[in-house]
Amino acid sequence: MPPTVRDYFRNPPFRTLAGSLSVHTGENDFAELKIHETLQKQIEEYFKTRPVTVTILVGDQGGGKTWTLSWLYRTFMEGQKDTLVVGVPRIELRGIPERGLLEGLFKGLKPQMEEIKQTMGKMEFPSNLKGTAAEYIWNAISDNEAYSILSGAGGRLPSLNGIIPPPMTKTEGTLELFLALFRFLSILGYARILVLMDEVESLFVAYGKSDIFKFTNYLRGIYDEFESDDGRTLPRLVLVMSGTYGVLAGVSPALVTRQIDESDASQALLRRLAPSFYLKFESMEDALEIASHRIGVHRKVTPDNPYIPYDEKAIEYVWKYNTGNLGNFSRDLQQMYDFALKERASKITLAHAKRAVAVFQKVDEESKS
């Protein structure tokens, strides 16, 4: 018998957490909104107009940053042979943050490694780059020990075919290896590289001011190298770092105060950063589209979770209360659903919404006390 109005959810539709950045994260739950289209167009414009772009995707905790990065991963990966997307779920904490970033890049290449090796097998390494760090990377891709260390296993990089690698324990060495990696990718035919770096908060929690200062200068060095190369040996690069407003303050107080002070150690990087992109969901249209999308995705025939229609006023109530925080919005929607399911209600109403908000309002107040 075909499904009717008594269709069911496969799983509770609003309990899915963002998870870690990957090409598949959120693919069954993501609702593409106008703000995402704007972000995509902005990145495309960066590729067209700049050799290198470093920008920050800013949002609250639970604001949909990981889902947005994962959506960008899928969007730019599909149907664009000259574009490579590298997803870095987090920067591992190392002696210096630069090494953590470098290791994250190599680890992020693993999903594309088969494609990379197939391309390498069809070509020879350019003679004009023989003996350079780029040739070291070429050799290291096929060397299990070297690639394992580059990906975060720890240890000292071995010499390969007579080439001594730059030291990963020094900022200068990590910068040389960073540039060598992107020259290697350019050789393979990738003209555009999109690096998506999630959860950069860990940098500003774990490292002191001195390390953060060095890291911002490291980013400035990357920027200057790509600018001066202007596409001769390096691809176009867009680096998107996601973080909260605290990350903005960590990179530079000027990013928050909008004032550049001579004493601000990061002012040189600040002048090079592209404008931050603020991931804000403020319209009621967004709220209704997100709820409608996730209800539709999860409606399946199962014996446990019947489909219960929502009163739009209920959705509007929890949206306004959570001021666009997707994590809390989904949490309250799920609580509304659970209340209605327990009562065998025919519709989720404003009363359910108020009860759901009251539950978590009490939890939040207790957690602060």
Q: What is the pLDDT of residue 258?
A: 43
Instruction: Tell whether 109 and 238 lie within a shared domain.
Output: yes
106 belongs to a structural domain: yes
pLDDT digits (tens, 9 = 90+) for 58-67: 877 767 788 8
Instruction: Tell whether 166 and 126 lie within a shared domain.
Output: yes
The mean pLDDT value of the chain amounts to 81
More confident site: 34 or 292 = 34
Does position 17 have pLDDT exceeding 50, yes or no? no
Q: Report how far residue 196's alpha carbon sits from residue 241's, in angstroms, rounded to the nearest whole number.
A: 6
Q: Which residues pair with 278 in a beta bridge?
A: 58
The Cα diameter of the chain in Å comes to 74
Q: Report how far residue 293's alpha carbon sits from residue 283's, in angstroms, rounded to the nearest whole number.
A: 16
Does position 285 have pLDDT exceeding 50, yes or no? yes
364 belongs to a structural domain: yes
6 belongs to a structural domain: no
Instruction: Tell whether 263 and 128 lie within a shared domain.
Output: yes
Instruction: Tell whether 207 and 294 lie within a shared domain.
Output: no
Does position 287 have pLDDT exceeding 70, yes or no? yes
Q: What is the pLDDT of residue 268?
A: 64
Instruction: Tell whether 55 and 144 lie within a shared domain.
Output: yes
Domain CATH for 340: 1.10.8.60
Q: What is the DSSP letter of 8?
A: B
Instruction: Tell whether 40 and 170 lie within a shared domain.
Output: yes
Q: What is the pLDDT of residue 277?
A: 87
The tokens describing 345, both together, are 């209600």
Q: What is the pLDDT of residue 247?
A: 65
Domain CATH for 87: 3.40.50.300
Q: What is the pLDDT of residue 204?
A: 72
Domain edge (last residue) among 261, 278, 295: 278
Provide the residue range defining the domain that includes 176.
Answer: 34-278
Closest CA to 304 of 335, 329, 338, 332: 338
14 belongs to a structural domain: no
Cross-sheet strand order for the sheet of 277-278: 83-88, 192-197, 236-243, 52-58, 277-278
Instruction: Tell whether 136 and 229 lie within a shared domain.
Output: yes
Does position 124 have pLDDT exceeding 70, yes or no? yes
pLDDT digits (tens, 9 = 90+) for 300-331: 434 466 778 888 888 888 888 877 677 677 77
Task: Give the mean model confidence (pLDDT) for residues 267-291.
Answer: 74
24 belongs to a structural domain: no
Domain edge (last residue) among 278, 311, 326: 278
More confident site: 39 or 367 = 39
Q: Please state the domain count of the chain.
A: 2
Does position 251 have pLDDT exceeding 90, yes or no? no
Task: Give the mean model confidence (pLDDT) for residues 233-262.
Answer: 68
User: Among 20-34, 99-113, 189-203, 217-231, which is the least confidently predicted range?
Assistant: 20-34
Instruction: Tell whether 236 and 133 lie within a shared domain.
Output: yes
Q: What is the pLDDT of residue 274?
A: 85
Instruction: Tell whether 342 and 265 lie within a shared domain.
Output: no
More confident site: 146 or 364 = 146
Instruction: Tell whether 321 and 347 lie within a shared domain.
Output: yes
pLDDT > 90 in the chain, percent = 40
| Helix/strand/coil percent split, the chain, to 5 | 55, 10, 35
Q: What is the pLDDT of residue 66?
A: 87
Instruction: Tell whether 63 and 143 lie within a shared domain.
Output: yes
101 belongs to a structural domain: yes
pLDDT digits (tens, 9 = 90+) for 131-150: 999 999 999 999 999 999 99
Instruction: Tell whether 316 and 203 lie within a shared domain.
Output: no
Q: Which residues of 279-304 are buried (b: 16+ CB within 10 A; e: fewer)?
A: bebeeeebbebbbebbbebbbeeeee
pLDDT digits (tens, 9 = 90+) for 220-234: 899 999 999 988 999
Q: What is the pLDDT of residue 237?
A: 97
More confident site: 147 or 200 = 147
21 belongs to a structural domain: no
291 belongs to a structural domain: yes
Strand pairing of 236-243 and 83-88?
unpaired
Domain edge (last residue) among 278, 307, 324: 278
Does position 252 have pLDDT exceeding 70, yes or no? no
Residue 44, amino acid: E
